[in-house]
Structure 1
Amino acid sequence: MSEREPLRRRLDAGLAALSLSLPDTTVERLLDYVDLLVRWNAAYNLTAVRDPAEMVTRHLVDSLAVLPYAEGARLADLGTGPGLPGIPLALARAYDDVLLVDSNGKKTRFLREALRRLGLREARVAESRVEAVTGEFDCITARAFATLADMLDWGGHLLAPEGRWLALKGRFPQDELDGVPAGFVVEDIHRLDVPGLDAERHVVIIRRRRDAAAAGTVQP
């Protein structure tokens, strides 16, 4: 048995539990990403997760749990760190443009090498603070990045008029809902059941407010 086989089985089980089906070539590229992350992590301390099997659950499966909500052709992942959830999403779904944003130089060096090694030609890296980034994206993801108010204040200008912002949270963020800026509305909040992860996960879906009547309160 190859060293990769247990990781492949864990990833396959996670995808099945999420009712996701990915080509074998995509599964292999996702595991290639884990291999890169393990090697670089030893020197660059990119993630606190050290065990490759835990990386499959906490990084790959956790990221891919939002795949059904990641619509559109242009994706920006803000505060991406080592590429989460941006790289797993870009490997699992065809995008015309993917922008990975992080201000940490050692992480962006890893990101550039990962994109090159994984052949993600449609993806690029911005070593920048979020508020300095320009562009317009159909889907924006942010994982453990900031409060809803702060992330929208800093990066709301990047969301296309009909775009969708996916804020990835742990517990239901009740205390953050009232802080959503006036130009945006929380459209929905979904609990994510991530197989193998003993922790709460939610995705907060935010869109631009079309008019005053679009306001609403999302209840748990």
Structure 2
Amino acid sequence: MSASAKPSVNSTSSTPFSNIDPTGFVKLGAQLPMLADILAQATTALALSLDNSQQRTLLLYLDKLLLWNKAYNLTAITDPVEALTKHIIDCLAIIAHLPPGTLLDIGTGAGLPAVIIAICQPERQCTALDSNQKKIRFIKQISSELGLTNVQPIAARIEAHDAQYDVVTSRAFASLIDFVAAANPRLANNGRLCAMKGKAPTTEELNMLDKEWQINTIKLDVPRLHDSRHLIELSLKNV
């Protein structure tokens, strides 16, 4: 990946966040200082240069995710530490590997990873696409509350969406083959598909894709998460 692909992640942050301003937090309560320190340690481990405001916004997003979870059916995870690790930090692990440009997140759900990317990279325009209108309403609400002007939430199926993007991500597709088939029409010239996966692609999947696609499998080291994580980056060979 070229240096230009990660303009905002070239240095580390080691600022302690134990005394973070609790204004606006509802669900995190007494756990806020601990969660803030866990997040600060994770951003340092991932070499992400996020300022105090960005880290606070990530925690506010987590707070609102848990606050509105029942109303919008956003996540099965209700423990704040687990949600921070498996949702926020998990998404942070891909930031340094993303190519630059406009981004579409297919099946974004509660905005994962679209909202996380938008917070970390305010210069990037992020479209959060999901057919579930309740979840898109949640993203619209929290984008407004968090002041995220670079997020465009859209309630639609991918087949009904016709714009093109430099980067297309997804965390939701069980099948890499299905993701490539759905995302390819939305890919701009010289664009990249970036699929968040647990396990690396199987030999069968690679064999089905490697005639048309250049495939780069990146093993991710997600702080505090012991499960396997990979980012699969695909680009068309003949463009």
TM-score by length of 1: 0.89
Question: Is 1:157 the equivalent of 2:185?
Answer: yes
Instruction: State the AA in 1 paired with 2:53.
Output: T
Tell me, in whole angstroms, the C-alpha distance in 2 between the residues paired with 1:70 and 1:181. Answer: 21
1:121 Cα shift? 1.2
Query: 1:119: which partner in 2?
Result: 147
SS in 1 for 2:118: helix
Which runs of no fewer than 5 residues in structure 1 stay unpaired?
212-220
**Which of residues 62, 65, 89 in structure 2 aligns to 1:34?**
62
Question: Is 1:78 the equivalent of 2:106?
Answer: yes
Question: Is 1:17 the equivalent of 2:56?
Answer: no
Question: Is 1:178 the equivalent of 2:207?
Answer: yes
- Indicate conservation of the 8 Å contact 1:188/1:205, yes or no: yes
CA distances 1:93-140 after superposition (whole Å, capped 9, x unpaired) = 133421101111211111111111111112111111112111111111
- Indicate conservation of the 8 Å contact 2:129/2:154, yes or no: yes
**Which of residues 110, 116, 119 in structure 2 aligns to 1:91?**
119
Tell me, in whole angstroms, the C-alpha distance in 1 between the residues paired with 2:237 and 2:192. Answer: 11
Tell me, in whole angstroms, the C-alpha distance in 2 between the residues paired with 1:155 and 1:133. Answer: 10
**Which of residues 13, 21, 33 in structure 2 aligns to 1:5?**
33
Instruction: State the AA in 2 paired with 1:18.
Output: L
Supply the RMSD in Å over aligned alpha carbons. Answer: 1.7
Tell me, in whole angstroms, the C-alpha distance in 1 between the residues paired with 2:216 and 2:124. Answer: 26
1:199 Cα shift? 0.4
Distance 1:25 1:8, change over 3 A: same
Tell me, in whole angstroms, the C-alpha distance in 1 between the residues paired with 2:210 and 2:200. Answer: 18
- Indicate conservation of the 8 Å contact 1:148/1:177, yes or no: no
**Which of residues 149, 158, 170 in structure 2 aligns to 1:130?**
158
**Which of residues 115, 119, 129 in structure 2 aligns to 1:101?**
129
Tell me, in whole angstroms, the C-alpha distance in 2 between the residues paired with 1:96 and 1:173. Answer: 28
CA distances 1:29-59 after superposition (whole Å, capped 9, x unpaired) = 1111011101110322211111111111111
Tell me, in whole angstroms, the C-alpha distance in 1 between the residues paired with 2:43 and 2:33. Answer: 15
Which runs of no fewer than 5 residues in structure 2 stay unpaired?
1-18, 23-29
Query: 1:62: which partner in 2?
Result: 90
Query: 1:215: which partner in 2?
Result: none
SS in 2 for 1:63: helix
Moved more, 94-103 or 133-142: 94-103
- Indicate conservation of the 8 Å contact 2:197/2:229, yes or no: yes
Instruction: State the AA in 2 paired with 1:135.
Output: A
- Give the number of aligned pairs: 210
Query: 1:191: which partner in 2?
Result: 219
